[in-house]
Amino acid sequence: MLFNISDTPIASFDGDIALIFITEGSLDSHIQDRELLKRAGFKADQDEVVHLIEKQRLYVGISSLDPDSLRSASATAIRSVFCKSVYKHLAIAPFDSLDEYCMQAVCEGVLLGNYTFTRYKSKPTISNLEKVSIFLKDCNNATKETIQNSINNANIIANATNFSRDIVNTTPDDCYPEILAQIATKLCENSKLECNILRIKELEKQNMNALLAVARASRHEPCVIHLTHKPTKPKYVITLVGKGLTYDSGGLSLKPSASMVTMKSDKSGASAVLGIMKAIGELDLPIEVHGFIGAVENMIGGDAYKPDDVLYAKNGKTIEVRNTDAEGRLVLADVLSYAQQEVKADYIYDFATLTGACVVALGAYTIGIMGHSDAPKALLKEAAMNSGEMVTELHFNRYLKKLIKSEIADISNVSSSPYGGAVTAGLFLSEFINEENKDKWTHLDIAGPAFVEHTWGENPHGGSGAGVRLMVNLLQKLAN
Ligand code: BES
Ligand code: ZN
Ligand code: ZN
């Protein structure tokens, strides 16, 4: 997508359609199409869209002039028109108090709203949007240079988010562990990123027995992917870990049919890590970032791991398996151990569609964050405010910790209580964080926002790319 900035009046625009933001309640002021909009019943509610076809104007409501409202409105407006029209050239009409943050949000909204996933459509309807001209106002307190910077950021971040969405949306038959490895390898071919893939022999050598047990019944061999972005004088070293269950059938503790649909999205943590690494490579941030992915398929079969098994995890702890559907924590246990063995990081963040309980607790729009220390969580909360993603902290406590005790092994893979499942899953992971890293680690449960059933804000049906904007924002903050 080509973006350009124009300080000529918008009347000079000779493209296809102009996008105009209207703040809720401002419809009575001197807006040019006021009467037409009123007749159409337009109230300028957030994300309400009216397309005046003959006027070549696309109006969208915003609740206020802030980045989150602008991002969501831009995406909704673009989605409503461009996925089927022949329009190629869009104008963004000038608006008040446009700063670099608003500008980035609008461009992100355009790119996220223009996203479609058509791989499995025999007659795909695609957007023809090629060019976006941004018209400025004299009163805008941002220079052309800062706006250009916002456009570049938006391009990299939104493209990385869409890249992550594509991976999540790909079916389990077309995206299994080896395909994730290929995607990672290809990502590194066109950049300075490095990639190391551990296949089954190395995983055995590394004693990653919990991960291997989950993978055993699948015809697809598992792998662990390690991506690295290594600048010369890094300000920080960050480790990211992603749950990459290319399919989660539940294993022998088989999921009910209705819950199994959408479980191609159980690789969303891995997809987020891939998207983040892509963006970090392109931004060339002065931060050393390591992305680790546990790529596994959880299936049933004569060789499947079983409830009652006891697994010997990489860090020496024994795990009683009481439910094979709590597989993500088993995979992450070993990948977290491996990541800590390989890299001494300042902060460790893991991304996982780990529990349905987190969705019950927080709803489908919010990432649950858990950890022992405030510093890495504070960074996430700030990045959430700036990126448009939402996080809420779930607190650990000693009583919930008792619920994952096992009679026969060091720890059980499920809680003995039906309540508090997001936190007990986080506490399970904590058992695989070395003592010296306890304060550096935060777990992000993205089970809610990772896969979208009903379009909301800038997120269409399917994979959302949850975690990408959040973490790129956090890393950009650390870089400055
Ligand atoms: N991948 C699921 C969690 C999930 C549920 C993600 C819904 C996205 C939407 C995970 O592996 C799982 O099955 N967790 C179980 C844990 C339980 C057996 C303790 C769950 O949440 O029911
Ligand atoms: Zn599961
Ligand atoms: Zn899972």
Q: What is the pLDDT of residue 376?
A: 98
| Among protein residues, the one whose CA lies closest to atom 22 of ligand 1 | 356
Nearest to 195 by CA among 230, 168, 246, 221: 230
Strand locations in 168-317, DSSP E? 194-198, 223-229, 237-248, 288-298, 310-312
**Closest approach atom of ligand 1 to CA 265:** 8
Q: What is the pLDDT of residue 140?
A: 64
Residue 328 · residue 450 · CB < 8 Å: no
In the set 34, 43, 255, 317, the catalytic residue is 255
39 annotated active-site: no
- Measured from the CB, is residue 248 less than 6 Å from ligand 1? yes
Place of tokens 């870990």: 241
Please state the pTM of the whole predicted model: 0.97
- Measured from the CB, is residue 246 less than 6 Å from ligand 1? no
Strand locations in 318-449, DSSP E? 318-320, 347-352, 366-371, 390-393, 411-412, 441-445
Distance from the CA of 17 to the center of ligand 1, in angstroms? 44
Backbone torsions φ then ψ of 445, nearest 5 degrees: -90, 110
- Measured from the CB, is residue 356 less than 6 Å from ligand 1? yes
| Among protein residues, the one whose CA lies closest to atom 7 of ligand 1 | 356
Ligand (nearest to CA of 357) = 1
Q: What is the pLDDT of residue 26?
A: 85
Please tell me the distance from the alpha carbon of residue 346 to that of residue 289, in angstroms, as a whole number. Answer: 10
Please tell me the distance from the alpha carbon of residue 94 to that of residue 19, in angstroms, as a whole number. Answer: 9
Q: What is the pLDDT of residue 84?
A: 80
CA quadruple 261, 262, 264, 266: dihedral positive or negative? Answer: negative
Backbone torsions φ then ψ of 124, nearest 5 degrees: -70, 140
Distance from the CA of 27 to the center of ligand 2, in angstroms? 49
Measured at the CA of 217, the angle between CA 213 and CA 221, to 5 degrees, comes to 80
Nearest to 294 by CA among 315, 261, 266: 266
Backbone torsions φ then ψ of 357, nearest 5 degrees: -60, -30
**Closest approach atom of ligand 1 to CA 327:** 11
**Closest approach atom of ligand 1 to CA 450:** 8
Which of 298, 319, 325 is the best mutation target for the ligand 1 pocket, counting ligand atoms within 8 Å of the beta carbon and taking the most? 325
DSSP assignment string, 280-314: HHHHT-SSEEEEEEEEEEE--STT---TT-EEE-T
Ligand (nearest to CA of 414) = 1
Please tell me the distance from the alpha carbon of residue 221 to that of residue 200, in angstroms, as a whole number. Answer: 7
What tens-digit pLDDT sequence spans the chain (480 residues)? 999 998 889 999 999 999 999 999 888 776 889 999 999 999 999 999 999 999 999 999 999 999 999 999 999 999 999 888 899 999 999 888 778 999 999 999 999 999 999 999 999 988 999 999 999 876 666 788 889 999 999 999 999 999 999 999 999 999 999 999 999 999 999 899 999 999 999 999 999 999 999 999 999 999 999 999 999 999 999 999 999 999 999 999 999 999 999 999 999 999 999 999 999 999 999 999 999 999 999 999 999 999 999 999 999 999 999 999 999 999 999 999 999 999 999 999 999 999 999 999 999 999 999 999 999 999 999 999 999 999 999 999 999 999 999 999 999 999 999 999 999 999 999 999 999 999 999 999 999 999 999 999 999 999 999 999 999 999 999 999
For residues 30-47, one letter each, b for 16 or more C-beta atoms within 10 angstroms of the residue's C-beta and e for the rest, the string is ebebeebbeeeebebebb
Count Cβ atoms below 10 Å from residue 375 Cβ, excluding itself: 12
Residue 457 · residue 268 · CB < 8 Å: no
Q: How far is CA 123 from CA 118, 119, 126, 341, in A?
A: 9, 10, 9, 49
Nearest to 369 by CA among 354, 391, 349: 391
- Cα Rg, the chain, nearest whole Å: 23
Residue 353 · residue 269 · CB < 8 Å: yes
Q: What is the pLDDT of residue 142?
A: 74
- Measured from the CB, is residue 414 less than 6 Å from ligand 1? yes
CA dihedral of residues 328, 331, 333, 334 (deg, nearest 10): -170
Ligand (nearest to CA of 353) = 1
**Closest approach atom of ligand 1 to CA 253:** 18
- Parallel/antiparallel/unpaired status of strands 194-198 and 131-135: unpaired
Please tell me the distance from the alpha carbon of residue 285 to that of residue 229, in angstroms, as a whole number. Answer: 9
pLDDT per position as a tens digit, 198-217: 999 999 999 999 999 999 99
255 annotated active-site: yes
- Measured from the CB, is residue 412 less than 6 Å from ligand 1? no
Which residues, in sequence order, are bridge partners of residue 295? 223, 244
Please tell me the distance from the alpha carbon of residue 59 to that of residue 426, in angstroms, as a whole number. Answer: 44
**Closest approach atom of ligand 1 to CA 243:** 1
CA quadruple 41, 44, 45, 49: dihedral positive or negative? Answer: positive
CA quadruple 373, 375, 377, 381: dihedral positive or negative? Answer: positive
Surrounding residues of ion ligand 3, Cβ less than 5 A: 245, 248, 266, 328
Nearest to 420 by CA among 356, 377, 374, 330: 356
